[in-house]
Amino acid sequence: MSIKLTTGDRIAETSSKGNQEKWREKGRWYKLDLFGYEGMAETVISTLLGQTNVEALGFRYVPYRMERLEVHRRVRNGCSSPDFLQPSESILTLADLFRKGVGPDWQATVARQPNFAGKVRWMVEQTVRLTGLQRFGAYLTLLFEADMLFGNEDRHLNNIAVLRRGDGFDYCPLFDFGAGLLSNIRDYPLDIDPKAHVRLLRARPLDTTFTRQVHAAQSLYGPQLAWHFTPADLANALAEALTFYAQRDAAYIAERAAVCVEMQQKKMKQ
């Protein structure tokens, strides 16, 4: 059964890959698949994040579920998540935080940092200065590690955020992993060996390899992420989500997701 969305409150989510349609209705956010199986990636990754130490570290993540959505008179796949914002809260992206708190030339300042670790340190120090969130270095490292683990290459500074709560701030739950698991079949076609695709992935916001980005953050704030899921757990998480997609593609998608996670796990253990 599909959910029919009739709201006129369309939001084009900012992404380096394109504009993904997103709605809020009855306390949930709904997002449509754009270039492949983003809804599956969000759903599976949020399930697997439940088998990591994210919450033990004192942080949160956004849970997603698959949806069949009737939008613009078409039935399409997507996902939904609860609206985690309380009435007094709003999201402030790092891009907006730096623009308002540092100035319009903040990107030039970042570019002048001598290396990747310097860029990470600058982002963390400015965020701590502007928000008072003393553990932001650990939070950002955790986010970079999760992106690496799942091959999420779309972590630009419009989907790294803090929560504004009155005059104070808090850590935003980890969200927006829709570009993970090779979900973009426009850039990474189904008929090519997934190992070749994984080797091409680039990490944002530093625009380098995942290994270099994560090592830069870990050199400053130490390793954060630990995972406890197995290949069988990944297969179980994939099973229900794959029923939303064409049967002819299911085996390819499952292999891509498994190869992506396996290769990234090996890199993180090095």
pLDDT in tens, 31-74: 999 999 999 999 999 999 999 999 999 999 999 999 999 987 88
pLDDT of the residue at 12: 41
What residue type is assigned to position 91 of the chain? Answer: I
Structural element, H or E, at residue 25: strand 20-25
Pairwise CA distance, residues 93 & 164, whole Å: 10
pLDDT of the residue at 17: 55
pLDDT of the residue at 6: 45
pLDDT of the residue at 19: 59
pLDDT of the residue at 11: 42
Nearest of 246, 61, 55 to residue 152 by alpha carbon: 61
pLDDT of the residue at 18: 52
Mean pLDDT of the chain: 93
pLDDT of the residue at 14: 43
Entry pTM: 0.93
Pairwise CA distance, residues 49 & 229, whole Å: 9
pLDDT of the residue at 8: 46
pLDDT of the residue at 204: 95
How crowded is the C-beta side of 173, counted as CA atoms within 13 Å?
20
- Under-50 pLDDT residues of the chain: 1, 6-16
Task: Please classify residue 263 by burial: count the beta carbons closer than 10 Å to its beta carbon, then call 0-12 exposed, 13-18 middle and 19+ buried.
Answer: middle
pLDDT of the residue at 73: 82
